[in-house]
Amino acid sequence: MNRRTTIACDCGLVTNVRVWPLNCACGRRYLSPDAPAVPLSAAPARDLQNDDNWVSPHLCARRGDALRTEVCRVCGPDRGKTVDVFRCEHFGQCTIRRYKVGQKEAVCLGCQQFIRRDKEGEQMKRRQRRRQRQEERKRKLQLIGEAHYDPLKWFRYYDRELRPAHLSDLWRGSAGFLVAGGPSAKDIDFSFLRERGVISLAINNVAAHAPVKAMVCSDPPEKFHHAIWLDPGLMKLVPSNKLNKFIRLKRPDGTFEQPRIRVKECPNVFAFARDCDYVPEDFLLRDTATWGRNKQAMKSRPGKDKLLFTFFLGIRLMWALGCDRIYLIGADFGMRPGGAGEGYAFAQRRDQGAVDANHNSYRVAAKWLQELRPVFENAGLHVFQTNAESNLRVFDHVPLAHAIEDARGIAGNDPLDLAGWYEKPGQGGDIQETP
């Protein structure tokens, strides 16, 4: 039968049935709406009213008036969560509300016949995972002083299909620019970023303002210009959970459209693992990129500041890519409300509320960077500030011209001398060995 029928079992459960036969949770089977109940096995049917060990996924089909409010028996009294208890025509009292988002089964309170969660087993698994993470962290810390230790190999990259990608040490031993979107960046001639040997990574939309080599973001992809996503010459580094998100296109008339293009369908896209539990000591040791501390992390670390800041991802990724000298551009850590160009290096208006929120983020981020500076220097990472008027004064100031010379390295400036390279060594002139 395909017609839905309501069956009231002898155990007291009421079920809406479309497919037959019906197997009730109490152990009875109904072959049709008019047929009597048949035990599923030779064992007698269970008495749900008196069996305290029975675990049922069912709940009363109807609930009555609200009786009272009780402390959640699943979460425990320590969490302080309460649930509403209703009158039940079968069990006397019950609740149909779910306790947690991940808990699909409803819970019956009054008769004690609710879904019993294996809390001890779950706690044991959590303790085991926490112990494994602690042991892994200790092992990394023990190796930090050994010559064979390379913190870059612990970082996890993925391709567009979430397969492991080997990008660690891609820019090994190089100096690079971390370009932020502060107002000071709008007065800089970024033509040097196109030169040979100069590497750079931009944060968010400033990648469309400066000709950088790579870009990192954390917000939804639709917040960033489509030219960034569709540029095959620009490497995009995104959190792994953003690969299936859609981008937006901006038309010449200023309107937006949704082309139904996912991030993973764009060229030169790679993903990385991200976490939200900031700990200064292992910021460079984790195989994930930390971008701050969220509400969940604050529960285990009460009294700490809450902040999610993409700037930390930029530093972590440049270190994981092999840069041991990072020069900051546009990291002003300050903005003004008003028209376009007041708060960013590009046209983007911000009201007073947004400016105040960003200033609070800058304050917390500056304090965290002060904690991270000795960690960076112990690992061999050196960060410099190129804007003398920046509010971020944690790092030493270096003139931009000096930073550009360091970033160029020994690659040389164009045009290069290409004569004699196809000749065998010793035939095209004297060869001087470098000691």
> Lowest-confidence range among 42-51, 211-220, 324-333?
42-51
Which helix (DSSP H) or strand (DSSP E) does residue 6 occupy? Answer: strand 5-8
Judgement on whether residues 129 and 263 belong to the same structural domain of the protein: no
| Eight-state DSSP code of residue 62 | -
Domain-ending residue, one of 109, 130, 149? 149
Greater model confidence, 303 or 52? 303
Judgement on whether residues 141 and 163 belong to the same structural domain of the protein: no
Judgement on whether residues 262 and 135 belong to the same structural domain of the protein: no
> What 3-state class would DSSP assign to 228?
helix
Judgement on whether residues 229 and 203 belong to the same structural domain of the protein: yes
- Residue 421, in any domain of the structure: no
Helix, strand, coil percentages in the chain from 3-state DSSP, rounded to 5: 25, 20, 55
301: domain CATH number? 3.90.1480
Taking phi over 0 as left and psi of -120 to 50 as alpha, with beta for the rest, 221 belongs to alpha
Judgement on whether residues 133 and 282 belong to the same structural domain of the protein: no
pLDDT (average), residues 212-228:
95
- Residue 82, in any domain of the structure: no
User: Could you tell me the two tokens for 234?
Assistant: 């620009």
How many domains in the chain? 2
How many Å separate Cα 16 from the centre of its chain?
42
Cα–Cα separations (whole angstroms), residue 234 to 38, 201, 213, 242, 430: 68, 10, 5, 17, 40
pLDDT (average), residues 282-289:
88
Backbone phi, psi, residue 140, to 5°: -65, -40
- Residue 265, in any domain of the structure: yes
| Nearest C-alpha neighbor of 404 from the set 187, 191, 170, 210 | 191
Judgement on whether residues 260 and 310 belong to the same structural domain of the protein: yes
Greater model confidence, 102 or 338? 338
Judgement on whether residues 374 and 249 belong to the same structural domain of the protein: yes
pLDDT (average), residues 395-406:
94
pLDDT (average), residues 306-318:
94
Judgement on whether residues 331 and 356 belong to the same structural domain of the protein: yes
- Residue 83, in any domain of the structure: no
Q: Which domain holds residue 207?
A: 154-408
Judgement on whether residues 250 and 137 belong to the same structural domain of the protein: no
- Residue 210, in any domain of the structure: yes
* Vertex 195 angle, CA 194 and 198, to 5°: 95
Judgement on whether residues 138 and 211 belong to the same structural domain of the protein: no
- Within 8 A by CB and 6+ apart from 341, the residues are 183, 186, 347
- Residue 217, in any domain of the structure: yes
Confidence grade of residue 364 (pLDDT, cut at 50, 70, 90): very high
Judgement on whether residues 282 and 396 belong to the same structural domain of the protein: yes
Tens digits of residue pLDDT in 31-72: 566 666 655 443 344 454 444 443 343 444 445 667 777 776
- Residue 205, in any domain of the structure: yes
Judgement on whether residues 214 and 354 belong to the same structural domain of the protein: yes
- Residue 107, in any domain of the structure: no
Tens digits of residue pLDDT in 142-197: 654 444 445 444 577 888 888 888 888 889 889 999 999 998 898 899 999 999 88
